Chains A and B, each alone.
Chain A
Amino acid sequence: MSQTVTRYHALFESLRSRRRKPENRKGLDLFAATAAMKVRHARVTLGYLRREAERIDALAPDLKKHSDRALDDVVRTVRESFVRGRAEVALVRRAFACVREVARRETGEEAYIVQLMGAVALYKGRIVEMVTGEGKTLTGSIAAVPLAWRHKHVHVFTVNDYLAARDAESRAGIYRRCACEVGAITQSVEERERAAIYARAIVYGTPKQITADWLRDQIRLGQLSTAWTGRALLSRGGAGATHPGAGGPLIPGLHACLVDEADAVLIDEGVVPLIIARARREDDMAAIYKDAAEIARKLDAKADFTIDHLRRRADLTRRGEHRTAQLSERLEDPIWRATRRAQELVRQALVARHCYLNGHQYQIVDGRVVIVDEYTGRFLPDRSWEHGLHQAVEAKENLEITADRETLARMSFQRFFRTYPFLCGMTGTAADASGEMQRVYERPVTVVPTNRPLARLKMPTRVFRSSEARWNAVVDSIADLHRQRRPVLVGTRSIEASELLAARLTARGLVHRVLNASFDKDEADIVAQAGRHGTITVATNMAGRGTDIKLDRESREHGGLHVMLTEMHSAKRIDRQFIGRAGRQGDPGSSQVFMSLEDELVRHQAPGLLGYLRAIAGSDELSGVARRQALAVFRIAQRRAEARGRRMRTDVLRHDDWIEKHMPGG
């Protein structure tokens, strides 16, 4: 049974969602809203979830007896009641039981009680924390069906295109038998196909793709406020338009969303708003950026300028201002005559030069600057930094300067997700961010217990005085484990670091594979191989989320996957995610973290304490009290980085809100 969405319907729903303007609460209002949310969700305790799950489980034996056809009939009747909006408690239980049975028949996996608990919690609109490797995918697909029945369209968000396509495909059987069309929106899907996919009941996709489509819809809708006035828009699509979305919006409204890896999607990506931009044609600034980069190259650190790495800003000293004026004296462009504007350009060039590094924040691919996502380690090929920063980086790298882009529309992810009337999510690491989930999304966090005890061994963290010493120790450790024929996954923070380590491993004659943004084509293959005994995989954060490394029999016997983290990230959650690759679903595994006093995290976040650590560090590797204190300092630095991220996200939200409130047209 396929669902059809008329263009008029899509327009109507889209406009209806558009009118939802989430409000950013402050002070007492926020307090009241949080209290109200707590009261609303007070009933959904772990005990309640367990009881519900057991009741659902009790329905299973009966359903198991049904033939395939009989089961389909049951599903159909349940679905029809749902669609008519008669979702009583008993019916909901029955629905879950049906979907569970369907999933069992389709994939051979029967959901455990804890997975059912998670699914019910999702259905109740909660953010669910389940330990990594507990089968979140199955939990999500069981919850997605009743949600789709109830809310018409469900968007399931994953962190990357690979996961979106994989999950949509692997779950299609379940959904089809439950009368839900499924589709995935990935980078590669053509725009003309998208409207058809969005019309389906369950749509997988990344936040970037779906938010961008939504924003484009908003631009397309212009100032429309009612569907009546929008008929002209529809007719503009013309009679010749073959696909349903022509002229009108692609997305038929925002109804419900289920966010996989909720903390990554809702929190980490919340820092940078999504921007739809197009190249500006009118003014050519290429020469100006080159000149600015040239001036920045000639200025001396400390004497002429100071760099704040943390905030990524540069300040000119008196001498620097003077020299800027001198150096720009002979330049022709009138922009150099305006002192403030000239200094701004030079400061930007300095930031591009000192705060943005190849292999860290970006990578040069085919003569283009491609941004690397800080959290997922993936390329963001469509995006560029704003207000000339991108051009300044290009000028620094002596590449061809692309045209400056002008913003057409902009939306923070926080705002986008709050536009959904129904939001739920799951993740392996939500508890660390539960405060923010409550404040921003008004969604409480539920921690669902593990099904099987965790068999992952955590080995003591090692701290080194210099980065060099750390890499040596890492390579030694890898060689050691390789000899034990165990598979090793090594996490690095940047592309540059992953390549550096790869070079060292090659020098030692260790065969390995590198998974970073440059090799994302081979991702599926590398991940599939990573669990084989004796495999060494060096990966950036790309392997951090949703990557399911299947072990072969031999490696399981040798002690399972060993995960090494060579540097701490700016949030504990990211570290936990990466470490969570080992010891999945009761598999054996182990993990270890390596750090050095030269790491970016401590250098930027706790420079004062770092001096102290250097003073007490005796030999190359810290031990005893010094090691313990170093661990504490790293934790402080990480907390500071987390707080900073939180503040930045709040700022984004606040700015967004201010603009919405004060700008004409809303």
Chain B
Amino acid sequence: MNDRPTFSPFWHRVRLMKPRLRPHVQITRQQYRGRRWHVVHDPTSNQFYRLNPIAQDFVGMLDGTRGVEEAWKASLQKFGDMAPTQNEVIQLISQLYSANLLACDTTPETDQLLRRGRERIKKKVAAQAIGIMYFKIRMFNPDRLLTLAEPIIRPILNIWGFLAWCVLLVAALVTVLPEWDRLAQGFDDLRGDPSQWIWVGIVFVITKAIHEFGHGVLCKRFGGQVPEFGIMLLVLFPSPYVDASACWAFPSKWKRVAVGAGGMIFELAVASVAAFVWVSGQPGDLATKLAYNAMLTASISTVLFNANPLMRFDGYYILADWLEVPNLAQRSNKMLMHLMQKYVYRLRNLTAPSSLRGEQAILITYGLAALAYRIFLFITITLYVMGKFFAIGLLLAVWTASAWFIIPIGKFLHWHASSPQHSEHRLRGWGISCAMIALVVIALGMVPFPDRRRGEGIVESLDRTTVYFLSEGFIDIVHKRAGDHVEAGEAIVTFINPELEKRADAVLAQLEEFQVQERSARAAGEIGGVQIALERIRVAQENLDEVRRMQDDLVVRAPHAGVIAGMDLESRRGGFLKRADPVCEVVDPSRLRVVAVMEQRQAAWLFEGRETVGLPVSVRFYSSPSTLIEGIGIPSVEAGQKIMPSAALTFVGGGRAEPEMRDESGRVTKRPWFPVRIEAENPADLIAAAFPGERVKVRFDLPPRPLAAQWLDRLQKEMQGRVQL
């Protein structure tokens, strides 16, 4: 049951007042989830107020000639129990008055006006301080600009324009998708070329300006005003914004949605045009590069940020308008709070933020999703910034944590201590709060959780033979592939070399000729001639042997039993190999081991005190993720290396380590690494599963500890690492 006392002790303050709505205030009618609402809008100050039909009827009666009491009594006559109570009337009048929507017949009190102004500024400053991630700088009033621009593009702001936009978008997608490789390559180039970043920044600001223009022009198109343009520092990055809130008064929700989506529509159009320019442009051109940047920023940022309804950007407003749930975010927070009060604190006499079933479901879903997203975003942004600039990141983390979590919790506790609703069961309320805090403390500070560190490694063999090609020829038949087992002497590859055949034929012919020479010389009794012929025959015979040997060597055989590793011969079929080129490696699988590489900073404390004992570790293979090998990791003495055991562990080979730019081999890294030798618990499993040279994921299992201890430890180590820098 909900208390709505009819009378208010302060009624005398408004009773005889004869207020009226200010003459320039506009009221529009809107539908929200089948209910009628009236939005009171002051276009000059851009203040809004939403009234339900009964309140609207009451406000409608305030025409400056009727007293408040008279209007209230009329409302009571009309609506009975539904009529506003005296308290509600006072609330309504004070709020409308504070928003400057209501003119009163009293002389305005200068002190009060000034104080209200001061407080408004104070509030604004406080809001800015808390939302430091979205710092707004107001610049100018773009209304005249938009008034000039709007008629020019009005012809395309209709359904045909929208269809054309769809076609443009599809066409751009169709053009770009086949060039996917180039697209990805371009991205890598961009990442590796800091000189491009400033261009990306400039292009970003320009595309965002077009985005905001889109909002503005659509708002203008439907009759709204756009009084403010400025720059918002979004996580310290400048991004333009406009104030298109005039659209909140539009009666049709589709128009509101259109204004909300306007930015993205314009930005995606820009992205599409840029896509055409990029596809047809000359690679390496500045114009092409810029087009590429524009295409990328305009599409990715739009999809990631603007369209995301969980952040307070366009997507949120579009969603709220589309679902017809105004103030979605605040009300969903209130809804969660309400559920907490109702089911955890078991308070009575509560009013839910919404009485409609469907709306409640939306509020709860949105509230939970937004909360989860907020936590996720907080952690990612903080970790990212901390990775780059540790101190700023830490500051940002503390700031944001207090704005998003600590202040709300503090407010909740304060409410707890002071709200009259609670006075009855304050003790119980505190009990529940303490129990919840205790639960969190126990969960974080006492319950041990598995503590795991992840890294990468590579499978190495201790016994390996590189098989070199002793002949020359083209690869013909590949008998054994990488990973296949071979016995000693078994054929691995058969090469083909037609030239050798010819050479053999030629040498044979020569030999026969020399033998004829010898016979004829012997018959003629020329001792000298026989000598010469015999010498020639010997040379020819040697040649022949050589060619024969080379022909034999066209079949490459395993020098010993083992597993083939190394190059992928199959893909090089028909290729030509010179003498002494390596063909493949044959490794002895019974002598494999895994070497993990951890970042020096991390590994140093990972193994602190465990240098000789090692840590339990589990290894998974990229080739067969289901196989798991357990073992012990023992740190190697050769710590602090900058050369990886294999290029497979750096970006070059698909690994995680950042390679030094100038290095050709791809094995030299920027930061020092720390090899960890892993001894498999059961070597047979490793032999069965692993291929030498394969990249693996490793996971070190530290003894389980409470989460708080883990986090503290990490933070501490992280700090230590930074302080040294």
Contacts and interface: CB of A to CB of B under 8 A. Distances in A.
A619 interface: no
A386 interface: yes
Given A223-B107, A647-B423, A662-B97, A341 B6 contact: yes
A68 interface: no
A410 B12 contact: yes
B14 interface: yes
Interface string B1-42: 100111101111111010100000000000000000000000
A304 to B, nearest CB: 14
Contacts of A661: 112, 115-116
Contacts of B7: 386-388
A407 interface: yes
Contacts of B102: 664
A225 interface: yes
Contact of A337 (B13, B80, B115): B80
Interface in B415-429: 420, 423-424
B25 to A, nearest CB: 16
A32 to B, nearest CB: 14
B93 to A, nearest CB: 7
A69 interface: no
Nearest to A219: B12
A367 B15 CA distance: 32
A273 B80 CA distance: 31
Contacts of A315: 1
Given A344-B6, A647-B423, A663 B107 contact: no
Contact of A655 (B4, B10, B93): B10
Q: Which of A308, A338, A386 has the most CB of B within 10 A?
A: A338
B282 interface: no
B81 A339 contact: yes
A386 B107 contact: no
B106 interface: yes
Given A337-B80, A407-B9, A662-B94, A21 B111 contact: yes
A655 B8 CA distance: 11
Nearest to B7: A387
Interface residues of B, number: 35
B327 interface: no
A108 interface: no
B6 A659 contact: no
Contacts of A406: 12, 15
Contacts of A666: 109, 111-112
A201 B127 CA distance: 50
A659 B106 contact: no
Contacts of B4: 340
Nearest to B96: A664
Interface string B99-122: 000101011110110011000000
Contacts of B98: 662
Nearest to B4: A340
A339 B83 CA distance: 12
B81 A344 contact: no
B10 A659 contact: yes
Given A651-B420, A664-B97, A340 B104 contact: no
B12 A408 contact: yes
Interface of A is mostly: mixed
B11 A407 contact: yes
A408 B13 CA distance: 8
A624 interface: no
Interface string A643-660: 010010001000100011
Contacts of B424: 308, 311
A19 B11 CA distance: 22
B107 A344 contact: no
A409 interface: yes
Contact of A340 (B9, B11, B81, B95): B81
A664 B102 CA distance: 9
A665 interface: yes
A341 B81 contact: yes
Nearest to A276: B12
Given A21-B111, A340-B4, A664 B9 contact: no
Given A407-B11, A664-B93, A338 B107 contact: no
Interface in A387-411: 387-388, 406-410
Nearest to A318: B1
B94 A663 contact: yes
A497 B228 CA distance: 71
A94 to B, nearest CB: 40
Q: Which of A386, A647, A663, A664 has the most CB of B within 10 A?
A: A664
Contact of A665 (B12, B15, B81, B104): B104
A467 to B, nearest CB: 27
Contact of B106 (A223, A340, A344, A662): A223
A488 to B, nearest CB: 40
Nearest to A608: B427
B9 A410 contact: yes
Contacts of B423: 311, 644, 647
A663 B9 contact: no
Contacts of A662: 94-95, 97-98
Given A344-B6, A386-B7, A647-B423, A663 B111 contact: no
B108 to A, nearest CB: 8
A21 B109 CA distance: 12
A21 B113 CA distance: 13
A665 B14 CA distance: 10
A315 B5 CA distance: 13
A152 B6 CA distance: 45
Contacts of B10: 410, 655, 659, 663
Contacts of B95: 662
Q: Which of B15, B81, B420 has the most CB of A within 10 A?
A: B81
A664 B112 CA distance: 9
A662 B12 CA distance: 14
Nearest to B414: A27
Contact of A663 (B5, B6, B13, B81): B13
Q: Which of A275, A406, A407, A663 has the most CB of B within 10 A?
A: A663
Contacts of A338: 80-81
B107 to A, nearest CB: 5
A349 to B, nearest CB: 14
A388 B1 CA distance: 22
Interface in B56-112: 80-81, 90, 93-95, 97-98, 102, 104, 106-109, 111-112
Contacts of A388: 7
B292 to A, nearest CB: 51
Contacts of A665: 17, 104, 106-109, 112
Contacts of A21: 111
B107 A225 contact: yes
B627 to A, nearest CB: 61
Nearest to B95: A662
Q: Which of B13, B19, B102, B108 has the most CB of A within 10 A?
A: B13
Contacts of A651: 420
A275 B10 CA distance: 10
B127 to A, nearest CB: 16
A365 to B, nearest CB: 26
Contacts of B81: 338-341
Given A663-B94, A664-B102, 20 more contacts: A223-B107, A311-B423, A344-B5, A344-B6, A387-B9, A406-B15, A407-B9, A408-B12, A409-B12, A410-B12, A655-B10, A659-B10, A661-B112, A662-B97, A663-B10, A663-B13, A663-B14, A664-B106, A665-B109, A666-B109
Nearest 10 Cβ contacts at the A-B interface: A665-B106, A666-B109, A662-B94, A664-B104, A666-B112, A407-B12, A387-B7, A340-B81, A338-B80, A338-B81
Interface of B: 1, 4-7, 9-15, 17, 19, 80-81, 90, 93-95, 97-98, 102, 104, 106-109, 111-112, 115-116, 420, 423-424
16 contacts: A311-B423, A311-B424, A341-B81, A344-B5, A407-B11, A409-B12, A410-B9, A410-B10, A644-B423, A662-B94, A663-B13, A664-B17, A664-B19, A664-B93, A665-B104, A665-B106
